């Protein structure tokens, strides 16, 4: 991929994953003996990313120690949110300061990313540069292993993201953003939804649809069902 910088979100408390996250942070939860974080790092490495920033807060020492013990190929930096968690938006804004270039990928490690997503990520990047707008990867609700997910967005024929009363698409956890969307915003706790809603109003958020089956580790119940799953 042309974009070489990525953020992996790793600061959350993983409350819905308790009791397993009482002692380990959610990114270090293992699926088929491989942690969600390691799987995400290897996935990004295979796509050609050279600089990965991981924002951390809850049990951050465990994640830092994990990275130190591994010999991952890309440059990996840990950004610790020490005093308080910055939520998704504040966390992304803060972590993106580590990059010299404006364009970067943001990845949620809770999704089971595999080689089958490689084409989707190329399409994601192509749409980002073609539209010159922030771009996210979506999947139809019917593709989700967890059927409890409600739709997050809709998308029109121009690939513009919409929010409506009934939404048919789920956000997969992958998006390409530009630092400019955080212009005049300070580093403080806020959800990325605030930024998304502003972009949607201006028709500045586009989407790419994945046809992959969507596996996302969001609750302990789902974890128990998928903990032995092979990631392709």
Please give the pLDDT value at position 71.
85
Task: Answer yes or no: is 93 within a domain.
Answer: yes
Please give the pLDDT value at position 5.
98
* CATH number of domain containing 220: 3.90.550.10
Please give the pLDDT value at position 73.
85
The string of DSSP letters for 59-71 reads THHHHHHHHHHS-
Q: What is the pLDDT of residues 32-89, one digit of tens each?
A: 999 999 999 999 999 999 999 999 999 999 999 999 999 888 999 999 999 999 999 9
Q: Where is 78: in which H helix or E strand?
A: strand 75-80
Does residue 13 sit in helix, strand or coil?
A: coil
Task: Answer yes or no: is 215 within a domain.
Answer: yes
Task: Answer yes or no: is 231 within a domain.
Answer: no
Please give the pLDDT value at position 48.
96
Task: Answer yes or no: is 197 within a domain.
Answer: yes
Task: Answer yes or no: is 189 within a domain.
Answer: yes
Please give the pLDDT value at position 230.
76
Contacts of residue 15, Cβ cutoff 8 Å, sequence gap at least 6: 21
Sheet holding 103-107, edge to edge: 75-80, 51-56, 5-10, 103-107, 169-178, 134-140, 205-210
N-to-C CA span, the chain: 20
Contacts of residue 157, Cβ cutoff 8 Å, sequence gap at least 6: none
Task: With CA atoms as reference, report the closest residue to 209 among 153, 163, 166.
Answer: 153
Does residue 196 sit in helix, strand or coil?
A: helix
Please give the pLDDT value at position 231.
67
Strand partners, 75: 51
The string of DSSP letters for 206-228 reads EEEEE-S-B-B--SHHHHHHHTT
For residues 57 and 27, is the Cβ–Cβ distance under 8 A? no
Task: Answer yes or no: is 232 within a domain.
Answer: no
Task: Answer yes or no: is 165 within a domain.
Answer: yes
| Domain coverage including residue 86 | 5-226
Does residue 128 sit in helix, strand or coil?
A: helix
For residues 90 and 182, is the Cβ–Cβ distance under 8 A? no
Task: Answer yes or no: is 12 within a domain.
Answer: yes
Domains in the chain: how many in total?
1
Residues in the chain predicted with pLDDT less than 70, given as ranges, are 231-232
């Amino acid at each position: 991929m042309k974009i070489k910088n990525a953020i992996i979100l790793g600061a959350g408390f993983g409350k819905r994953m308790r009791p397993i996250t009482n002692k380990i942070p959610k990114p270090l939860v293992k699926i088929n003996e491989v942690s969600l974080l390691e799987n995400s790092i290897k996935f990004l490495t295979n796509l050609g990313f050279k600089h990965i920033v991981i924002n951390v807060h809850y049990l951050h020492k465990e994640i830092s120690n994990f990275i130190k013990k591994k010999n991952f190929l890309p440059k990996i930096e840990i950004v610790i949110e020490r005093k308080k968690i910055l939520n998704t938006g504040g966390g992304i804004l803060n972590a993106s300061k580590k990059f010299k270039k404006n364009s970067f990928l943001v990845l949620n490690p809770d999704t089971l990313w595999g080689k089958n997503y490689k084409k989707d990520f190329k399409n994601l990047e192509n749409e980002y540069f073609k539209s010159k707008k922030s771009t996210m990867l979506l999947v139809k609700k019917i593709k989700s292993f967890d059927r409890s997910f409600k739709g997050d967005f809709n998308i029109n024929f121009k690939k513009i993201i919409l929010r409506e009363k009934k939404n048919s698409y789920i956000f997969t956890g992958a998006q390409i953003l530009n630092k400019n969307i955080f212009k005049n915003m300070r580093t403080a706790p806020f959800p990325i939804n605030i930024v998304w809603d502003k972009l949607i109003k201006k028709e500045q958020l586009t989407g790419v649809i994945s046809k992959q089956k969507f596996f996302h580790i969001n609750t302990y119940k789902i974890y128990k069902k998928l903990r032995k799953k092979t990631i392709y």
